[in-house]
Amino acid sequence: MEFIKPDVNIDFVGRRKIAFAISLGLIIIGMVALFYRGSSLYGIDFAGGTIIQLHFKNPTAVNKIRQGLKPLGLERSAIQRFGGEGEDVFLVRTDISTSELRNLSKKVEDSLETVYGPEAVKVERVEMVGPKVGKDLRQKALLAIYYAILFIAIYISGRFELKWMPALIMAGALVLGVYLLRAAGVSIPMLIVAALIITLACCWLLRLQFALGAVTALIHDVLITVGAFAITNKEFNLTVVAAVLTIIGYSLNDTIIVFDRIRENQRKRKKQDFGELINSSINQTLSRTILTSGTTLIVVTALFILGGGVIHDFAFALLVGVVVGTYSSIFVASPILLAWEARFAGPRGRAKGKR
């Protein structure tokens, strides 16, 4: 099935500078929002604390809930509606996570009943995470995302370039470097940033062009997705980390489809301008890309709208990630190959890069 005519010839490569500017702008906006929110971006999984889910029989207001929680010293907690319209369910988040909160569910119900009356409110769940556990989960989540990207770089290098040895040398050096930096007490966020920069530099220096394009696109997707959470004032928790890892795999799938066609056309059209070859390869796979992404978006949109509050953030991350991942496969990963060709292919390659 072809959604787009096979003879279509959209100049994606010619618009790469505009696409780079858009991507850079989105990343900068997201990072500014991320630094502005700081630790408030973390959900209870990473920040530690206690979350209480309340279900009221009748509509209520946040200020009235605060009034009911005041005897317990929880009136300054963050309170927000949970679920869709018409669902009188609220989440109360507090940074208190000590043994003093034993039997908290009963205490909260009793305190709120003084304001709402008997059996007017039900505590549906109470979750507590200690600050040390939250910090440990946060570090492991960052490492999981980094190692996913690293092993993808190894796979791409072997799969498309048959350069398993340079890829394994890069991986070994990075794993050792991460271990030494952790032993030296470097914070996990700074360690991940440094490791990603080294990964990109190794891909460039070892001439692993397909890995360079794939890794750059994946970093691009993760940054924009996390930035979207910061901009929309959503929390980043373990569920969202699972969504980010899913996005990494999905985005890679799109990138591999385009890379496969580029490699195939390289063997058939050795004398063709590399920019034109990339452009024609993207156009040839465009129908498949749009159909795959379109059907996935339909499902994810249904989850986002109808899935309820429990998976709302997960669906939102996938919604952003599928769109951005499809975009990066076309406008980020493939043009990186052109930039590499312009740098390493001599005068002919530089001439192609000017296209």
pLDDT given at position 319 = 92
Instruction: Give the Cβ contact number of residue 179 at 10 Å.
Output: 10
**Residue 192 near residue 146, CB atoms below 8 Å:** yes
Instruction: Give the Cβ contact number of residue 239 at 10 Å.
Output: 17
All domains of the chain in start order, with CATH:
13-43+133-353 (1.20.1640.10), 49-129 (3.30.70.3400)
In this predicted structure, the answer to whether residue 148 has a pLDDT above a threshold of 50 is: yes
pLDDT given at position 102 = 58
Mean pLDDT over the full length of the chain: 79
Lowest mean pLDDT among 88-92, 93-97, 128-132, 147-151: 128-132
Which is more confident, 288 or 310?
288
- What is the token pair recorded at 256? 């591999």
**Residue 237 near residue 43, CB atoms below 8 Å:** yes
C-alpha 331/C-alpha 335 separation (Å) is 6
Full-model pTM: 0.77
Q: What residues does 123 pair with on adjacent strands?
A: 54
DSSP H or E run through 279: helix 274-306
- For the segment 142-163, the average pLDDT, to the nearest whole number, is 77
C-alpha 316/C-alpha 311 separation (Å) is 9
Q: What residues does 132 pair with on adjacent strands?
A: none
Helix-then-strand count for the chain, H and E: 13, 4
**Residue 93 near residue 65, CB atoms below 8 Å:** no
- For the segment 67-73, the average pLDDT, to the nearest whole number, is 80
- What is the token pair recorded at 27? 């990343």
- For the segment 337-345, the average pLDDT, to the nearest whole number, is 75
